[in-house]
Every structure is written in C-alpha cells, then in structure tokens.
A and B are shown apart, each in its own frame.
Chain A
C-alpha cells in the first residue's frame, strides 16, 4: 500500500461543474496536508494547506480533512478549462518527511 494514494484519473468534468479530488494516506500520525496543482511541463504550485479536521475554503477551492478516515479531498467549484492540470496530494507526518501522491489528472471540458 502506498503511503499517499490518489486515483490517477483522468477525471473529466464539464465547465462550471464541481470537481472532487480524493486522497487517502496510511500514517495516522500525519499532521499537515497539502494540495498542489501542476500544469503539464511546469513545476508544482501550492494551492491549499489544511491542518485540522473539517473544511477550509479559499475562493473556488475547498479542502476537506477527515483524520479518523485518513482522507483528504479537494473540491473545485465552478470548474474552468484553466483548472485542467494534475493535482498532487501531499502529506507530512510531523517529522521531516512530506510524501507526495502520484497525482490525479483533471480535464475540464469547455
């Protein structure tokens, strides 16, 4: 079992819809959770971080964390074609290490 698991996709949603991206992790001691967006040929860009259970909203993005279920998700409301990218989930266990998932490819159809 991978330490951070994501569905590789591709996830395809129509423009204006809600895109839901999911991530599970194996280490119950994990403390910090991050979502990065990576456009093809570019480097990852941090879009959200979340540290406690519940929801955190930033514009069209909402991160959701459930530590009991070891689950973190990212919702993108009113999806735009410019949101088409690979979304990386990253988990920090409280020590040095941040583990990145393999990423979910998202396509938003105009």
Chain B
C-alpha cells in the first residue's frame, strides 16, 4: 500500500483566503506531482518536481505555487482562493531515478470548495 498522505481531506473556504494543501510521502520517491480533477473529468497536471529544490509547472495553467524543500514534502499554496479553484487536488509520487520508474502512487486527495 502506498504511503502518501494529503491534508486536509476536505476544505471549504471563502474567496480571497490563502490556503496550503499538504502532501507527504514516506517512500523516498524522487518525483512528486500535483493534479487537478473535476468530478467525472480528466486529470490535469498542474505542478511537478524531480527532487529537492526542483519545481516545474504542468500542462494546466494554475495560480498555485509549490515548493520542494524536503524529499518527502510537496505543499501546494493558493495565495488568494477563488470559486474557480473549486476542485479535487490529487498529489502523487513516483520513484524516478536512472531507470525512470514512473509508476505513480496517489494520495487520497483534497476536495476544495471556495465560496
């Protein structure tokens, strides 16, 4: 069973608030990812990281930012939440490395509602 955790699991917040979604993994994986997914819709990659101090934007334009100061931790921050940010946010990790093992393991997700 994958050891990847996300908190909070559910968040309802007002417009304009700053929020941070937490993601941690205990598998020592190099690569970490943030996806956004609306109900019944596709996964959209919004951020990824190859390792410590590496962060890149994904395919979907996002007003969020991420940091990777420790291997196990990859938080996502929204400086000013808006109703358009309402969605499910999924964190994932993969081993990466020379063999490029890219089997991704997903956390349980954070369901964000911005009023």
Q: Contact residues of A with B, CB < 8 Å?
A: 31-32, 34, 41-46, 49, 88, 90, 92, 94, 96, 98, 100-103
Residue of B102, B104, B105 with most partner-chain A CB within 10 A: B102
Determine the chain B residues whose CB is within 8 A of the CB of A49 once the complex forms: 103
Q: Closest chain B residue to A86 by CB distance?
A: B40
Determine the chain B residues whose CB is within 8 A of the CB of A96 once the complex forms: 31, 48, 50
Chain B interface mostly:
loop
How many contacts between A and B, using CB within 8 angstroms?
39
Q: How many residues of B contact A (CB 8 A)?
A: 17
Determine the chain B residues whose CB is within 8 A of the CB of A100 once the complex forms: 42-43
> Nearest chain B CB to A24's CB is how many angstroms away?
16
> Nearest chain A CB to B76's CB is how many angstroms away?
15
> Nearest chain A CB to B94's CB is how many angstroms away?
8
Q: A102-B42, A103-B42 are in contact. Are A43 and B109 (CB under 8 A)?
A: yes
> Nearest chain B CB to A52's CB is how many angstroms away?
14
> Nearest chain A CB to B101's CB is how many angstroms away?
8
